[in-house]
Structure 1
Amino acid sequence: MSEVRPGGSGSAAEVPQMHLRSVKHSFSLRSASALSFATMRPIFIFTVAGGVLLTAGSGAWLAVLLCYALLLLIASVLAELASHWPLEGSVYEWTRQLIGPRSGLIVGWAYLCSYVVFMAAIAYYAALKIFGLFDSSPNRVVAGILALVLILLATLINLAGRVYLKAVAVAAAAISLVGCLIFATVLLIGYRAESLGALFASPADGVHGWAWLSGPFLFVLVTLSVISMRGVELVAEVAEEVRDPERSVPKALVWSVVVAGAVVLYTSAALALAAPDALAGAQKFISLLVVLAYSGALVIFQMAASRTLWITTRDRVLPAHAYFGQLSKGDRLPVRAIIVVGIVAAILPFITSTSASQVLFGTAGAALLLAYLVPILGAARSRMRGTWAPGPWSLGGWGGIAVVLSIIALVGLVLNIIWPRADYYGDGITAWGPIIGLVVIIVLGLIISGWAFRDGGIHTRHFGHTDRDLQRIRLAHGSTCSLCLRTLSEGSEAQWDDSAQALTCIPCDEMTDWIRARPGATDAELSAVFIEAHESYSSIAPPTESTLRRIRAVR
């Protein structure tokens, strides 16, 4: 809950001072795009190229092309949802809005588990890469200790503040981008061994024949799906921290996929056409770049997991929500959520191994794609009922087709990932690891849902600006108005809706009273009232379309 502190003397005593669960708008379009691009890690193609090319030959490039075409399709649908509901928590909040709070909780839980498990897997993998730089092969415990150190460093960076988080995101994105482009260009210019036609060769010309489509092709696709689709939605995960989120978040989401996809396609083509030993002399340098890029991604994965944990505790649907829902006084960061995510992720590497890490990747990948699938199913239902209302960013008439194709693609990708392949996950029961892991995540989600919605869920947070329990408060720290997004300084007075967890500046609150009495007011009239209401703030800009949309949505 928000912490109320008594004010001082005089009028301040009538207006309590309060610490709120509200975040700051600290991400721009560029820094938000860097989050997604860095976590999609185009440089990953160097780590899987050997196995991919050995399995399917140069024609594997077609699998890469299909994977990113599907990813762009799915990202476009998610961008529509992000434009309509630019809420912290992304898939969790969209599912709550489209289907209901119980489904939202299970999706949020699967999403949270996905990122925690992926943190552990990528930290363990990065630890092995670091030892490989020194031609050393550690045992599981030693690798686990180094993975723990990497997770600890990621935790410290997340706790340090958004400035450091943005710096890490930009650095990781730059490493992936520059590293891929330089090495790919060198390969194409100096080490190309095949013609461009090899990328489009008929499967009948290969060693597998047309069986390539059902065997090696799917093997390549599962590898790419598990790794490349991670992070596409991350910019939406921090939507409430992005300026003008209804427009900035969808743009960042789509363009990060376009840029990452172009880089991966270019790099994978260069690798497929190059001589087999072209990179032999640069393996350690490439491994170093991979470690740096993956370490940066680890920091951002922890951010995603901690934001989801915080948003679910803000909605009071997880145990100990009052404890985990607290934000720091300065940067308004979910410190406790960041720490607990780091602790859980640091434990997992000690109970894994090199072979079991593939199972962790598969489990995390399947859980993430299911978290994408459920809100898109909700969007399809909304369109069928005729209740869908697009936000400022929309696919227009293509939206319905994109939703249907995304559902088909995600169902196929999830089935492909969890399919018990001995050559990918290991023999025996290990091959069933992703299915078992996914079932465990869902069952735990159902148990938590039963706890959260006991007694009809009367204790859980409700949505929307309801204006039924507004409390005039004095801020004990800087914050942001949920409507005009203006920064509010410490000591400012504002209206707080504890049910909706929404903070509104006094001028915007007065505006909402005005518009309720005039539901047919035009944008021009509303803009004039907005400027008049905020005239005491010399730096206030005329309202954007997104701002007007937020104000009209107040009930």
Structure 2
Amino acid sequence: MTPTHETPTTPPPSGPVASAEDVELLAALGYEQRFDRKVSLWGNFALGFVYLSPLVGVLSLFAVGLSTAGGPSVFWIVLIGLGQLLVALVFGEIVSQFPLAGGLYQWARRLWNGRYAWFTAWTYICCITIGITSTALFSSDFVASLFGGTAQHPGVASTPLQRLLIAVAVTAVCLVCNSFGTRVLALISKIGLAAELIGIVLVGLYLLLFQRRNPVSIFFHGSSASHPGSYFAAFVAASLVGLFLYYGFEACGEIAEEVPNPARSIPKAMQLTVVVGGLAALLAFAGYALAAPDLEAVLTGSDTNPIPAILQSSVGTVGTKLILLVALTSFIAGVMSQQAAASRIVFSFARDEMFPGARIFSRVTSRYRVPRNALLAVNVAPLLIFVFVYFSPDSLVRIAAFQVLAGYAAFQMVVLAALRMRLKGWRPAGAWSLGRYGFAVNVAALVYGVLAMILLAAPTGDPNASFADRWIALIGFLVVSAVGLVYLLTAKPDRKSTAPEGDALEIAQRLRDRAASAASAERSEA
């Protein structure tokens, strides 16, 4: 067994729960087992699904998509889903060879080097931090409608103070639940998955089959309230419907050291997340659009929160309240999964001595085996942003725009690193592989990702908005990138780390040799 680079710690008498094979693979990659492996394939899929959260995505972006480009905006769910599936396939090959806590950070480190990985992780941590923030804040209107809506006015917009208090409460509840370990995380993720499927599949099918008020042709006739001069520009602007939806599947890999047989199960969980999440979102979007009692008000932008009214007219007051409760469950599960993903990448960062306060943030609690200090740390910035949004309520959409651009940038840094290593001769040697199709999929994923980033960085379509408002996503991304680069070049955190890096070729050969030896031993026994 290859010795690990970590300083050994004294585990409690029972020790971490893990199979000998998983412990051996982790040791071969340079680490010791410190987490319990209690998250099954379905628990891992549930975690990624509630992070991606098609229900939350559709509820948050339904009105935006229809008011921007009308019914055809639904096709962005399909287009972006296919592109993100390519990225998920690339990630599947990487995580199968490197099933390590920290996901994108570890993958970039092994495919390139510590400095490149640091910047990738910095970008991604900023993305997830804003993700926690925006998901908690977007839940406020649904909580307000759940407890304050009436039959006459089912959709209630939360006040700035209510939004602040609800977001803080949701974040605090999720933080407490996450502190009880991966078993609780997996359980709530499964509950969130069930809630998502009930809220999307059952409700979506019911609306499509029994509450259709608008013709299917609305999906083939564009309209634009915000881009009257050019429908093409409106359709491109509506790409946010898909772009904001499809990220979160990478969270399956962030907790790789808490999943049994991760080299095989995590790639499957990622792909299931994208495919099932995309189909569910498509069904929900279509169902709500066809059942809207006043579609014209949504298309013109005069009704910015139409979901409660659609539900009220379709399933009544009691049904609406139940579905809003399901939506709240999805929001909570989504925030929990984002907190878990962010804390694991901070833990992995600190474990490699690449993060300020590394000794503090690399600790794992002895009872529940949770990086509690890292969990607390990733919730500090969201609390500060909650206060900022309280004083500037219109800033939420701008903050979310930066969040998604940063996430896509971090994804493509890993895709680029994988392509670079392939050109140097790397052939992924994990238990799951694309084989001869890997190179073509990698190139296609990179091309798609660059185009997606261009769409996200493009200015908003409102010509009357200020320069900063029109370019807010790109400006935010450049500012965060500049801060990260300044710290990276001045503090040089990568020089303090002795963790393995740039060893994808070496590890691949080692895994192939191990597989060949195992096969030879089996033949000898036979």
- Same fold at TM > 0.5: yes
Q: Is the 8 A contact 1:161 1:331 kept in 2?
A: yes
Aligned 1:288-307 pairs, distance under 5 A: 288-307=325-344
**Letter of the 1:190 counterpart:** F
2: distance between equivalents of 1:377 and 1:166? 31
SS at match of 2:190: helix
Cross-structure match for 2:242: 224
2: distance between equivalents of 1:21 and 1:313? 16
From 247, 251, 264, the counterpart of 1:234: 251
Compute the displacement of 1:138 (Å): 4.8
Compute the displacement of 1:462 (Å): 3.2
SS at match of 1:317: coil
**Letter of the 2:499 counterpart:** R
Cross-structure match for 1:147: 167
Compute the displacement of 1:464 (Å): 10
Once the two structures are overlaid, the 10-residue window that deviates more, 121-130 or 178-187, is: 121-130
Cross-structure match for 1:163: 183
Cross-structure match for 1:485: none
1: distance between equivalents of 2:134 and 2:464? 14
2: distance between equivalents of 1:287 and 1:63? 25
Q: Is the 8 A contact 1:110 1:441 kept in 2?
A: yes
Cross-structure match for 2:472: 433
Q: Is the 8 A contact 2:353 2:496 kept in 1?
A: no
Cross-structure match for 2:456: 417
**Letter of the 2:446 counterpart:** I
Question: In 2 relative to 1, CA 204–264 (structure 1 residues): closer, same or farther, beyond 3 Å?
Answer: closer
User: Structure 1 vs Structure 2: percent identity of aligned residues?
Assistant: 25
Cross-structure match for 2:26: none
What does the per-residue CA deviation read over 1:86-122, in whole Å, with 9 as the maximum and x for residues that have no partner?
Answer: 1111111111111211010110111111111111121
Compute the displacement of 1:47 (Å): 3.4
What does the per-residue CA deviation read over 1:261-307, in whole Å, with 9 as the maximum and x for residues that have no partner?
Answer: 11112222223333434534355554333222111100110001111
Cross-structure match for 1:475: none
Q: Is the 8 A contact 1:193 1:273 kept in 2?
A: yes
Runs of at least 5 residues in structure 1 that lack an aligned partner in the other structure: 8-19, 466-511, 532-555
Compute the displacement of 1:172 (Å): 1.0
From 87, 93, 117, the counterpart of 2:106: 93
Runs of at least 5 residues in structure 2 that lack an aligned partner in the other structure: 1-5, 13-31, 150-155, 295-309, 504-509
2: distance between equivalents of 1:6 and 1:429? 52
Compute the displacement of 1:70 (Å): 1.4
Question: In 2 relative to 1, CA 434–354 (structure 1 residues): closer, same or farther, beyond 3 Å?
Answer: same
Cross-structure match for 1:550: none
Q: Is the 8 A contact 1:33 1:235 kept in 2?
A: yes
Cross-structure match for 2:305: none
From 493, 517, 520, the counterpart of 1:522: 517
Question: In 2 relative to 1, CA 63–246 (structure 1 residues): closer, same or farther, beyond 3 Å?
Answer: same
TM-score, length of structure 2 as denominator length: 0.80
Larger radius of gyration: 1
Compute the displacement of 1:344 (Å): 2.4
Cross-structure match for 2:48: 36
Q: Is the 8 A contact 1:425 1:433 kept in 2?
A: no
2: distance between equivalents of 1:114 and 1:443? 15
Aligned 1:382-461 pairs, distance under 5 A: 382-421=421-460, 423=462, 427-450=466-489, 453=492, 457-461=495-499
Q: Give the number of aligned pairs.
A: 467
Question: In 2 relative to 1, CA 138–100 (structure 1 residues): closer, same or farther, beyond 3 Å?
Answer: same
Aligned 1:13-412 pairs, distance under 5 A: 22-44=34-56, 45-133=58-146, 134-135=148-149, 138-196=158-216, 198-199=218-219, 201=220, 211-212=230-231, 214-226=232-244, 228-277=245-294, 278-281=310-313, 284-352=321-389, 353-412=392-451
Compute the displacement of 1:73 (Å): 1.8
Q: Is the 8 A contact 1:75 1:232 kept in 2?
A: yes
Cross-structure match for 2:21: none
Question: In 2 relative to 1, CA 323–197 (structure 1 residues): closer, same or farther, beyond 3 Å?
Answer: same
1: distance between equivalents of 2:117 and 2:445? 19
Once the two structures are overlaid, the 10-residue window that deviates more, 118-127 or 39-48, is: 39-48
Q: Is the 8 A contact 1:222 1:413 kept in 2?
A: no
**Letter of the 2:500 counterpart:** H
1: distance between equivalents of 2:91 and 2:431? 14
